Amino acid sequence: MKLTIVLDSGPLGLLMQRRGLPVADACRRWLANRMRAGTRFLVPEIADYELRRELLRLGLTPALARLDAFNSALPDRYLQLNTAAIRRAAELWADVRRRGLPTADPKELDGDVIVAAQTMTSGFPLRDLAVATSNPIHLSRYLDADLWTNL
């Protein structure tokens, strides 16, 4: 089966940046090459939220338009947040804290556990999923996650 890559907010943000920024251009080439190879890309709603709020704050309307176009380019690309994902995130959050391995301050929402939970409850086989991120340390506690440049 073909690999499915879940985009965390870091690489998703790079994909939405303007052309001419070397790391963003490299990320777009990576995405295009992977798509040509048959890789499916998914965008968790929480990653969209984390990126969208910054784009709105900075008034980056063109980047917002690119984000919307990317999310809607394929009917199953955008992973909507649902009850199953939120409940799984709560379980993950509690588990890592019991083990003394929190991924964020206790008062924070903790987007990493929500990305992990959305991935786990996506309906796609976990053996075929990997999360592309710019910080794999926290996400790799839950599932296959690596720097986007390594996938």
Over residues 79-91, the mean pLDDT reads 97
- The average pLDDT across 133-140 equals 92
Query: Higher model confidence: residue 58 or residue 103?
Result: 58
- Band of pLDDT at residue 2, cut at 50, 70 and 90: low
Tokens at residue 137, please? Answer: 């340390």
pLDDT band at 128 (very low <50, low <70, confident <90, very high): very high
| pLDDT greater than 90 at residue 51 | yes
Q: What is residue 63's predicted lDDT score, i.e. its pLDDT?
A: 98
- Beta strand 129-133 with 145-147 is parallel
Measured CA to CA, the distance from residue 112 to residue 110 in angstroms comes to: 5
Which of the four pLDDT bands, split at 50, 70 and 90, describes residue 104?
A: confident
With 0-12 / 13-18 / 19 or more C-beta atoms within 10 angstroms meaning exposed / middle / buried, residue 140 is: middle
Which residues, in sequence order, are CB contacts of 147 under 8 Å at separation 6+? 132, 133, 134, 136
pLDDT confidence of residue 102:
81
